[in-house]
């Protein structure tokens, strides 16, 4: 299989043609950088026998929701590629080729763990979720080329230790370099300029930013919800064409909140929502707190048998619910990837002088809002002191002929 087999973007061509040892893809949301790099890796695996290619993510849930999902989409959509791949081992997440090349999808818990194995090519996906010592151990054991991608929310080890060094190529991209993106997504990305210019720089133009004024810094990642945690309620926020329908399961244990993301999708009808609730194991007797601005949807779900109530809202309900949440230690399940991303972007508005004002930016909140609905209806402010011994986890993780693709 060659590069000519793909309908590809300019990002594919830039990465495929690169001769640098390290190729850094800094890009805004929906630029197609991860997809393009996976296409390149498939070509490299097919063109030369016995290549070992490792794709590394922060953890397995992130890989499954991102790079591995892209890889399976490319594989399932290519007749030619299916002729060259002998097997996909779902358990070990390895594509095995007839020429004895492999593409493996892995995560590492620390630098010591990353010392195992050598490879020809390495792809560090969403690199700002990977620790520097893990990267260095992997890089030392990579023979030919390293690909890196990330959303540039803020500077991290790539900017400090790699960019500008000999043998390093930097490619900066944004959604305009993705010829396959739908127009409504382009509009949504561009509209962030009026809401938050700094986020627009990061997500619409792929430029390194610093997202100040994040609202929540009291959240942590947990492996799972404790078995003895008590469910408070399920939170539901309605969306459709441009906004996701978001749903979270909220628990309480030992004075701490435990949150599990259930679904996060556009285009869901109320019947679809009912089906997603069933598939998520939510019984019809479980209380669901939904956006009270959608009484018609709430009533329809009630008629389908669900125990749904509207969220309490008032003049200052948003800030009141934020105040409640900030008094709790919040544990987010590792698989709740979209909620991680929202919490890493949910911030206070600023005035023209750049001063923070006491009003959140009304974006990146389709899972945070249903969490707020639950606490508004079901909780009071927790006066227990927050632990200070642990730092919060944050996911720092965002046509063909545009001339402003930056490559250095």
pLDDT per residue of the chain (408 residues) written in tens, 0 to 9? 555 555 788 999 999 999 999 999 999 999 999 999 999 999 999 999 999 999 999 999 999 999 999 999 999 999 999 999 999 999 999 999 999 999 999 999 999 999 999 999 999 999 999 999 999 999 999 999 999 999 998 888 998 889 888 999 999 999 999 999 999 999 999 998 888 887 888 889 998 876 678 899 899 888 899 999 999 999 999 999 889 999 999 999 999 999 999 999 999 999 999 999 999 999 999 999 999 999 999 999 999 999 999 998 877 899 999 999 999 999 999 888 889 889 888 999 887 777 788 889 988 899 999 999 999 999 976 544 444 433 333 333 323 333 344 444
CB 211 within 8 A of CB 200: no
CATH value at residue 272: 3.30.420.280
Does residue 232 share a domain with residue 130?
no
**Residue 168 in domain:** yes
Packing angle, helices 270-279 and 295-303, rounded to 10: 60
| Number of neighbouring beta carbons within 10 Å of residue 114 | 23
**Do 83 and 229 share a domain, yes or no?**
no
CB 133 within 8 A of CB 76: no
Mean pLDDT over each residue of the chain, to the nearest integer: 89
CB atoms within 10 A of CB 262: 20
Nearest to 117 by CA among 137, 101, 132, 103: 137
Which residue shows structure tokens 């999808």? 105
Buried-state track 121-151, b at ≥16 Cβ within 10 A, e below 16: bbbbbbbbbbeeebbebbbeebeebbbbbbb
Cβ distance 61 to 105 under 8 Å?
no
Same-domain status, 167 and 253 = no
Inside any domain, residue 283: yes
- Write the pLDDT tens digit of every residue in 126-151: 999 999 999 999 999 999 999 999 99
Q: Note whether 190 and 294 are same-domain residues.
A: no
With residue 52 as reference, give the H or E element that holds it: strand 52-56
Scanning the structure block, which residue is given the tokens 């508005």?
349
Domain presence at residue 145: yes
Q: Tell me if 314 sits within 8 A of 295, measured CB to CB.
A: no
Q: Are 164 and 187 in contact (CB under 8 A)?
A: no
Q: Which candidate, 187, 185, 180, 151, places its Cα nearest to that of 345?
A: 151
Let me know whether 282 and 372 are in one domain.
yes
Please give the tally of structural domains in the chain.
Answer: 2
Nearest to 237 by CA among 376, 141, 357, 112: 376
Look up residue 214 and give its DSSP letter. Answer: B
Give the pairing type, strands 245-253 and 256-265.
antiparallel
Residue 345 CA to its chain's centroid (Å): 11
Return the structure tokens found at 199. 């986020």
Looking at the structure, tell me whether residues 157 and 254 fall in a common domain. no
Instruction: Note whether 225 and 194 are same-domain residues.
Output: no
Q: Are residues 190 and 256 in the same domain?
A: no
Buried b (16+ CB within 10 A) or exposed e, 310-335: bbebeeeebebbbebbebbbbbbbbb
> Are 394 and 226 spatial neighbours (Cβ–Cβ below 8 Å)?
no
- 127 and 26 in one domain? yes
- pLDDT at site 355: 78
CB 139 within 8 A of CB 146: yes
C-alpha angle 388-393-397 in degrees, rounded to nearest 5:
155
Claim to verify: residue 50 and residue 101 sit in the same structural domain: yes
State the Cα–Cα distance between residues 76 and 86, nearest whole angstrom.
Answer: 13
Residue 197 lies in a domain: yes
Neighbouring CB atoms inside 10 A of 407's CB total: 15
Residue 393 lies in a domain: no
Return the DSSP state at 312.
Answer: P
Quick check: is 212 in a domain?
no
Range of the domain at 63: 3-202+398-407
CATH number at residue 141: 3.40.50.300
Q: Among candidates 82, 81, 85, which has minimal Cα distance to 99?
A: 85
Note whether residue 23 is domain-resident. yes
184 and 248 share one domain: no
Do both 184 and 251 map to the same domain? no
Q: Round to whole Å and give the CA distance between 64 and 76.
A: 15
Confirm if 38 and 71 have CB atoms less than 8 A apart: yes
Note whether residue 385 is domain-resident: no
């Amino acid at each position: 299989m060659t590069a000519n087999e793909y309908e590809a973007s300019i990002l594919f061509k830039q990465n495929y043609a690169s001769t640098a040892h390290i190729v850094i893809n800094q890009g805004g949301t929906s630029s197609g950088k991860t997809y393009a790099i996976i296409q390149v890796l498939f070509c490299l695996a097919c063109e030369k026998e016995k290549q070992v290619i490792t794709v590394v993510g922060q953890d397995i849930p992130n890989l499954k929701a991102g790079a591995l999902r892209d890889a399976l989409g490319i594989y399932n959509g290519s007749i030619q590629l299916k002729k060259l791949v002998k097997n996909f081992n779902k358990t070990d997440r390895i594509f095995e080729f007839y020429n004895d090349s492999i593409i493996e999808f892995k995560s590492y818990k620390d630098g010591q763990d990353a010392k195992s194995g050598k490879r020809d090519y390495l792809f560090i996906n969403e690199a700002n979720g990977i620790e520097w010592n893990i990267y260095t151990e992997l890089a030392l054991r990579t023979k030919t080329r390293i690909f890196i991608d990330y959303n540039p929310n803020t500077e991290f080890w790539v900017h400090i230790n790699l960019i500008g060094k000999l043998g390093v190529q930097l490619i900066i991209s944004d959604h305009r370099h993705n010829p396959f993106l739908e127009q409504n997504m382009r509009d949504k990305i561009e509209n962030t300029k009026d809401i938050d210019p700094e986020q627009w720089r990061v997500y619409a133009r792929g430029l390194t930013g610093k997202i100040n004024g994040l609202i929540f810094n009291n959240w942590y990642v947990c492996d799972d919800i404790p078995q003895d945690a008590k469910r408070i309620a399920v939170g539901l926020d309605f969306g459709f064409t441009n906004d996701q329908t978001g749903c979270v399961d909220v628990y309480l244990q030992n004075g701490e909140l435990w949150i599990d993301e259930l679904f996060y999708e556009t285009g869901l009808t109320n019947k679809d929502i009912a089906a997603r609730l069933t598939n998520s194991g939510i019984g019809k007797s479980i209380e669901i707190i939904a956006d009270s601005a959608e009484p018609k949807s709430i009533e329809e779900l009630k008629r389908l048998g669900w125990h749904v109530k509207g969220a309490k809202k008032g003049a200052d309900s948003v800030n009141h619910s934020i105040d409640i949440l900030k008094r709790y230690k919040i544990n987010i399940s590792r698989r709740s990837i979209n909620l991680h991303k929202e919490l890493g972007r949910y911030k206070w508005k600023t005035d023209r002088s750049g001063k923070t004002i006491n009003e959140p930016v009304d974006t990146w909140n389709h899972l945070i809002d249903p969490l707020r609905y639950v606490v508004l209806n079901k909780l009071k402010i927790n006066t227990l002191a927050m632990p200070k011994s642990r730092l919060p986890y944050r996911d720092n993780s965002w046509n063909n002929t545009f001339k402003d693709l930056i490559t250095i």
